[in-house]
Amino acid sequence: MPPVPDIPDPVQALVAIVFALVYLGMILGGLPRLHLDRTGVALLGAIALIGGGALTVEEAAQSVHLPTILLLFSFMVISAQMRLGGFYDELTRRVAAMRLPPAALLGLIVALAAALSAVFTNDIVCLAMAPLLAAVCLQRGMDPVPFLLALACASNIGSAATLIGNPQNILIGEVLRLDFAGYLHHAIVPVLLGCVALWAWLAWDLRRRGSTAAAPASVTPLSAATASPASPAAAPVTVAEPAPPFDRWQTAKGLIVVGLLLVVFLATPWPRDVAALVGAGVLLLSQRFHSSRVMGLVDWELLILFMGLFVVNHALQKTGMSAQAVSALQAQGLDLQRPGVLFGAILALSNLVSNVPAVMLLLPVAQHSAAPAQAGATLALVSTLAGNLLIVGSIANIIVVDAARRAGIVIDWRRHARTGVPVTLLTLFIAAVWLAAAAR
């Protein structure tokens, strides 16, 4: 086992306790009897480590991986521009209004959600599309649940295609310095096959239930949502804020910036964080949208969660306890450097503590791997695809379920699991086969 650095025992004990409490908060979504969510727990943990002398302020600041934060912030600004320009709403409205058979419409939504999530953050895509998709389905008298599940699952699957599709992929790509085109080559086939598997499952389930996609009686737009095991006293339906009007120029400006950024990522050595920051700056120069409106759509809580976890994980690494844990696992035959073991570890941790904290825990293993590109692809694909297993597996799922609830549509954990569990198993199987073939 690696020796423990010369750190006083009280400090090591403080780090161990804070780390355990922070990751307990990641598991539970907060700490019992305290009004803290995951972000609050991570921030408080970082404060405790600095206040307790485990890290200096300078060490804490240096532990935050600034390129990751900058790239994540930049794409939040870009997505905010697209949302304020009405791009997501216009696209969703046009697609959902098409007079297609239910199975064909499901396929179109899967393709749209996956494609958008590969370029824009999947959480933003779901936040913008879910309320309008639910409303259009209800207006057409269709059961909105399969379509909302298609949106949630496809956004998770599609976001795995690139290093900018979701927060954990941004983190992996920046820390491991992965090549954008190289990762795309690793991920595109399992993502495309995963989307096909998702559509096939949803279409089969729709046909098996003998549904004509009519809204069931339990779906009650313009009234209170029905009770469910997950919601003993369902909240009444609230009226959503009016969608922003479609602005062709603002949308075109955002798409041009994104297109140029993709060219830069694929064809130039310009650092992705710097290029994206310049792109975000260009979009902030607007005569139409005040910068405060754009900044108001930035997910500051997610950025703070990242920074808090960077600090907490760095403190644990500084004590040497994380390296000891890896060595202990290796002594038991669980070598995290082996692709199969890493696959299983990220799958288990992603469903235990959520995908971003899980990726942060295992990134040091990938950094010291003999094949960091392969390890990075495994972390990115598995942590993202595992998010479809349960509602709490990804923020995108929670966003869609919450939007459904506000429209009077109940998607409890059982209904989600009937789609999420088989889709997760199918897509992970596809990813495992592809990664194993690529490793040969």
For residue range 156-209, what is the model confidence (pLDDT) as tens digits? 999 999 999 999 999 999 999 999 999 999 899 999 999 999 999 999 988 887
192 and 92 Cβ atoms separated by less than 8 Å: no
Q: What tokens were used for 128?
A: 């913008």
**Banded model confidence at residue 235, pLDDT cuts 50, 70, 90:** very low
Range in 13-22, 51-60, 176-185, 314-323 with the lowest mean pLDDT: 314-323
In sequence order, what are the residues at sequence separation of 6 or more whose Cβ sits closer than 8 angstroms to the Cβ of residue 199?
A: 106, 107, 110, 150
> Contact, 184 vs 162, CB < 8 A?
yes
In angstroms and rounded to an integer, the radius of gyration of the C-alpha atoms of the chain is 22
Look-up: residue for tokens 């780090």? 15
Are 353 and 26 a contacting pair, CB within 8 Å?
A: yes
Conformational region of residue 177, where left means phi above 0, alpha means psi within -120 to 50, and beta covers everything else: left
212 band by pLDDT with thresholds 50, 70 and 90: very low
CA distance 419 to 156: 13
How does the average pLDDT of the chain come out, rounded? 86
Using CA atoms, how far apart are residues 128 and 121, in angstroms rounded to an integer?
Answer: 11
Query: Where do the domains of the chain lie?
Result: 9-439
Are residues 342 and 21 in contact, defined by beta-carbon separation less than 8 angstroms? no
Angle at 7 between CA 337 and CA 320, to 5 degrees: 5
Residue range 269-307, pLDDT digits in tens: 999 999 999 999 999 887 777 888 888 888 899 899 999
d(CA 18, CA 2): 22
